[in-house]
Amino acid sequence: MELIARVTALGRRARTRVPNVLRRGDLHLDVGRHEVRRAERTIALTRKEFGLLTELMRAYGELVSAEDLLNRVWDEHADPFTTAVRTTVKTLRHKLGDPDPIVTVVGRGYRLR
The larger pLDDT score, comparing residue 4 to residue 15, is at: 4
User: Hey, what domains does the chain have and what are their CATH numbers?
Assistant: 46-112 (1.10.10.10)
For the question of whether the overall pTM of this predicted structure is more than 0.85, the answer is no
Euclidean distance between CA atoms 102 and 89, whole angstroms:
8
Cβ within 8 Å of residue 88, ≥6 positions away: 48, 49, 52, 73
Section 21-34 average pLDDT: 94
pLDDT of residue 76: 77
pLDDT tens for 68-94 read: 999 999 987 788 778 999 999 999 999
